[in-house]
Chains A and B, each alone.
Chain A
Amino acid sequence: DIQMTQSPSTLSASVGDRVTITCRASQSIGSWLAWYQQKPGKAPKLLIYQASSLESGVSSRFSGSGSGTEFTLTISSLQPDDFATYYCQRYHSSSPWTFGQGTKVEI
């Protein structure tokens, strides 16, 4: 199975900071990579799909890049509402469709 590894596990940041989270796949997954945001007690929310496509209604502060085995999620200017846990997930080609272990963005 393809493993997804995120770094860092925890990230301390301040409002206004530019934040970057990395996700690595154990083998090439093309651009079949999604990013989700999850707040405590809430369901995950899709932010980015196909590595760099912004889901409808999601703030343009969020952007994704990468292909193959290395991907990044960037928040251009961190806002108070952005403090949450972020997950990458590979999807599309042959299950299981694994998630990364998560990155908690905290103050």
Chain B
Amino acid sequence: EVRLVESGGGLVQPGGSLRLSCAASGFTFSSNAMNWVRQAPGRGLEWVSAVSGSGGSTYYADSVKGRFTISRDDSSNTLFLQMNSLRADDTAVYYCAKDQWVGATGLGNYWGQGTLVTVSS
């Protein structure tokens, strides 16, 4: 059974940093690209970032480019999102999602339960 468990969310001040993790199990982690998708309170879904199965290619939404860094550790089956220079409009539930293919496509066929990030003073 595929399982994705996010952690690392919390309250952070504007300008601060946070590192999210997503622990994966139930599939060959290195064989799939992975995505981060977020949802601000009461709003729709926003694709944030993706990393290919090899880890060699990364992709970012314009809204986070230069501030967020996606990475993966295939030895521990864990996906990360390093978030720097956080702003109030980064407040959202952050989901990790398994891509359907090894190359990143943005298509999430399995999702975690999400972790809430709140940026506020």
Contact of A45 among B100, B111, B112, B114 (CB under 8 A): B111
- A-B contacts counted at CB < 8 A amount to 65
Is the Cβ of B109 less than 8 Å from the Cβ of A44? Answer: no
Q: Which A residues are in CB contact (< 8 Å) with B107?
A: 34, 46, 49, 89, 91-92, 97
- CA of A44 to CA of B110, assembled, Å: 9
Identify which of residues 54-107 in chain A touch chain B, using a CB-to-CB cut-off of 8 Å: 55, 87, 89-92, 95-102
A99-B44, A102-B44 known; A43 vs B105 contact (CB < 8 Å): no
- CA of A42 to CA of B39, assembled, Å: 11
- CA of A96 to CA of B50, assembled, Å: 10
Interface membership of chain A positions 21-33, coded 1 if the CB is closer than 8 angstroms to chain B and 0 otherwise: 0000000000010
Q: Which B residues are in CB contact (< 8 Å) with A45?
A: 111
- CA of A21 to CA of B91, assembled, Å: 29
Is the Cβ of A43 less than 8 Å from the Cβ of B106? Answer: no
Is the Cβ of A55 less than 8 Å from the Cβ of B109? Answer: yes
- CA of A101 to CA of B46, assembled, Å: 9
Q: Which A residues are in CB contact (< 8 Å) with B112?
A: 43
- CA of A100 to CA of B50, assembled, Å: 18
B interface residues (Cβ-Cβ under 8 A, vs A): 37, 44-47, 50, 59-62, 95, 100, 104-114
Q: 18 other contacts beyond A91-B107, A99-B45, with CB at 8 A cut-off?
A: A1-B62, A34-B107, A38-B45, A43-B112, A44-B37, A44-B95, A45-B111, A46-B108, A49-B107, A49-B109, A89-B45, A91-B105, A95-B59, A95-B104, A96-B62, A96-B106, A97-B107, A101-B44
